Amino acid sequence: MALRLVSLLITLVLMAVLGSTMYSRASATKKNGPATPQNLLRTTAMVVERTHQITGEYSGVGMQEGSAMRLVSADANAYCLELTWVDRSVHHLRGPGGTPAQGAC
């Protein structure tokens, strides 16, 4: 009888530990995952740079109308990408060679 109570107690403790671990992992946000504003801006900037290599202009890059990613400004020498993220925060990247930052262009 005592062995059953001890094994039941150990099982309950293990379930509590595993449950709390699973909850913390499920509720955590991925800050370095592939779908972050910074990674999306960098990937789009690579496409813009490649288009510039082919056409010689940044202004010729086509963006879908109404998209969260916008090419706000572009000329022969530079561009600025702007992304409105899921939580409605705005991020931008000035290129070429820029780094993603929070805020509008």
In the chain, the number of structural domains is: 2
pLDDT tens sequence across 65-96: 778 888 888 888 899 999 999 888 999 999 89
Looking at residue 59, what is its pLDDT? 77
Side-chain-side CA neighbours of 17 within 13 Å: the count stands at: 6
Please check whether residues 43 and 93 belong to one and the same domain: yes
Please check whether residues 49 and 92 belong to one and the same domain: yes
Higher pLDDT, 35 or 96: 96
Please check whether residues 95 and 49 belong to one and the same domain: yes
Please check whether residues 76 and 41 belong to one and the same domain: yes
To the question of pTM greater than 0.75 for the whole model, the response is no
Report helix, strand or coil for 72. strand
For tokens 């671990």, name the residue. Answer: 21
Range of the domain at 74: 37-102
The gap from C-alpha 94 to its chain's centroid, in whole angstroms, comes to 17
Report helix, strand or coil for 89. coil
